[in-house]
């Protein structure tokens, strides 16, 4: 239409009229799109559905180039994961003895458990270090040793400290891990090991529920008018939470909570000798061993972390925390240390 007007084929008034119609049509389409999105948002009921909607709007799958040398990446993750070599023989013998004393028999993994794990895992997940396609894993006949790598995702800058590692795991390991996770989840839920106030990483629950409760408390106080009282909320951002889990303390917590010894032993075997290779834009680093943290990207890690911190809320409720200034930080640190010990 613009070219026709510029070429003198239509008059100026006709061009302005058609341009106005086009603008109205665009506004109508934008309004219709917004209305459909609002309607779609109203139908969302689960946190997973919310994130699925958000991720559709994102387009952030570009490998970010940087000038960080792969040796610097290796040094960073070695420091983060504290490369150490721990002799596990005494702990292994102790675990076997505890299992024998309890009279527990080794529960073999069934074919049904493997099929359920294969069907449950995400089809669109990243391939593992073995570069096995996620669909081909359904042809797996046996379980192999797991390997670790890491995807580095940019956050704010081009310093390695502002990136986080995501493990690329052997696809056979993923099946094995899902079987153990399912067993651990069933036992922990049946025995009520994870408190009700923990809604993250739990089936059928969502942190949206906690946010709703907090908002309800705030609105309730605001309606009191002159008699309103202050409502305090503590938001704790745990830096490298999964990477800082002390594995020995984790096993101790699981035993104290009454998790079956043979299941704990299977978990210990997985984490006995973890080797890490960092994948960067400059290639792979040399491998190194770690003895700290739970695997970022493993289906078991969220549940293990929940059990690791399950008693924290109860400890806070038991000891109490006075929020009246800088001292609350010291008090919370004291409670954290008492809990860990």
- Measured between alpha carbons, how far is 105 from 65 in angstroms, rounded to an integer? 52
| Per-residue pLDDT, 233 | 77
Q: Pairing mode, if any, of strands 279-280 and 283-284?
A: antiparallel
DSSP-derived secondary structure for 147-201: -B-EEEEE-SSSSGGGEEEEE---HHHHHHHHHHHHHHHHHHHHTT-S-TT--TT
Contact yes or no for 210/313 (Cβ under 8 A)? no
Helices (runs of H) and strands (runs of E) counted in the chain? 13, 6
Contact yes or no for 276/146 (Cβ under 8 A)? no
pTM over 0.85: no
Backbone angles phi, psi at 52, to 5 degrees: -65, -40
Backbone angles phi, psi at 320, to 5 degrees: 80, 150
Q: What is the mean pLDDT of residues 204-209?
A: 78
Lowest mean pLDDT of 25-29, 224-228, 315-319, 331-335, name the range.
Answer: 331-335
| Per-residue pLDDT, 340 | 55
Render pLDDT for 267-296 as a digit per residue (tens, 0 to 9): 998 888 777 777 777 777 787 778 788 888
* Cross-strand pairs, 290: 274
* Res. 266 pLDDT band, cuts 50 70 90: very high
User: Dihedral through CA 273, CA 309, CA 80, CA 286, nearest 10?
Assistant: 30
* Res. 144 pLDDT band, cuts 50 70 90: very low
- Measured between alpha carbons, how far is 49 from 154 in angstroms, rounded to an integer? 25
* Res. 149 pLDDT band, cuts 50 70 90: very low
pLDDT over threshold 50, residue 147:
no
Render pLDDT for 183-204 as a digit per residue (tens, 0 to 9): 999 998 888 888 777 777 777 7
Q: Which residues of 160-172 are buried (b: 16+ CB within 10 A; e: fewer)?
A: beebbbbbbbbbb
Closest CA to 177 of 276, 48, 297, 308: 297
Q: Which residues of 310-329 are buried (b: 16+ CB within 10 A; e: fewer)?
A: bbbeeebeeeeeeeeeeeee
| Per-residue pLDDT, 232 | 75
User: Could you tell me what percent of the chain has a pLDDT over 90?
Assistant: 7
Better pLDDT: 62 or 76: 76
Contact yes or no for 299/181 (Cβ under 8 A)? yes
| Per-residue pLDDT, 83 | 46
pLDDT over threshold 90, residue 51:
no
| Per-residue pLDDT, 261 | 92
pLDDT over threshold 90, residue 264:
yes
pLDDT over threshold 70, residue 160:
no
| Intra-chain end-to-end CA distance of the chain, in Å | 77
| Per-residue pLDDT, 111 | 80
Lowest mean pLDDT of 43-57, 140-154, 277-291, 300-314, name the range.
Answer: 140-154
* Res. 252 pLDDT band, cuts 50 70 90: very high
- Measured between alpha carbons, how far is 147 from 28 in angstroms, rounded to an integer? 53
Round the average pLDDT of the chain to a whole number and report it: 73
pLDDT over threshold 60, residue 74:
yes
Per-residue tokens: 240 = 């490298």
The residue assigned the tokens 């009700």 is 196
Render pLDDT for 79-119 as a digit per residue (tens, 0 to 9): 777 644 445 455 555 555 555 555 556 678 888 888 887 77
Per-residue tokens: 177 = 């891990």
Sign of the four-CA dihedral 311, 313, 319, 325: positive
pLDDT over threshold 60, residue 76:
yes
Q: How many CB atoms lie within 10 A of CB 304?
A: 25
* Res. 253 pLDDT band, cuts 50 70 90: very high
Q: What is the mean pLDDT of residues 24-51?
A: 84
Contact yes or no for 128/147 (Cβ under 8 A)? yes
């Amino acid at each position: 239409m613009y070219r026709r007007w510029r070429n003198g084929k239509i008059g100026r008034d006709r061009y302005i009229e058609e341009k106005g119609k086009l603008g109205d049509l665009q506004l109508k389409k934008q309004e219709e799109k917004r209305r459909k999105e609002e309607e779609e948002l109203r139908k969302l009921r689960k946190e997973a559905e919310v994130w699925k909607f958000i991720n559709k709007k994102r387009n952030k799958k570009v490998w970010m180039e940087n000038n960080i040398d792969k040796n610097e990446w290796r040094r960073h993750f070695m420091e983060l994961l504290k490369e150490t070599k721990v002799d596990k023989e005494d702990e292994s013998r102790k675990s076997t003895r505890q299992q024998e004393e309890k009279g527990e028999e080794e529960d073999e993994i069934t074919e049904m458990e493997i099929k359920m794990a294969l069907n449950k895992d995400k089809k669109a997940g990243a391939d593992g270090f073995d570069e096995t396609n996620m669909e081909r894993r359904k042809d797996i006949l046996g379980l192999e040793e797991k390997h670790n790598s890491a995807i580095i995702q940019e956050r704010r800058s081009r310093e390695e400290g502002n990136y986080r590692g995501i493990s690329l795991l052997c696809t056979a390991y993923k099946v094995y891990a899902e079987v153990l996770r399912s067993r651990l989840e069933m036992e922990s839920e049946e025995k009520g090991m994870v408190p009700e106030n923990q809604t993250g990483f739990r089936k059928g629950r969502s942190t949206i529920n906690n946010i709703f409760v907090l908002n309800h408390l705030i609105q309730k106080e605001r309606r009191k008018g002159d008699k309103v009282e202050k409502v305090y909320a503590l938001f704790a951002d745990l830096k490298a939470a999964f990477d800082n889990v002390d594995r020995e303390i984790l096993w101790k917590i699981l035993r104290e909570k009454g998790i079956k010894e043979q299941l704990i032993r299977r978990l210990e075997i997985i984490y006995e000798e973890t080797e890490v290779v960092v994948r960067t834009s400059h290639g792979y680093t040399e491998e190194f061993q770690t003895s700290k943290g739970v695997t970022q990207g493993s289906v078991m890690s969220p549940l293990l972390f929940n059990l690791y911190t399950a008693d924290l809320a109860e400890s806070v409720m038991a000891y109490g925390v006075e929020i009246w200034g800088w001292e609350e930080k010291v008090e919370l640190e004291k409670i954290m240390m008492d809990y860990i010990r």
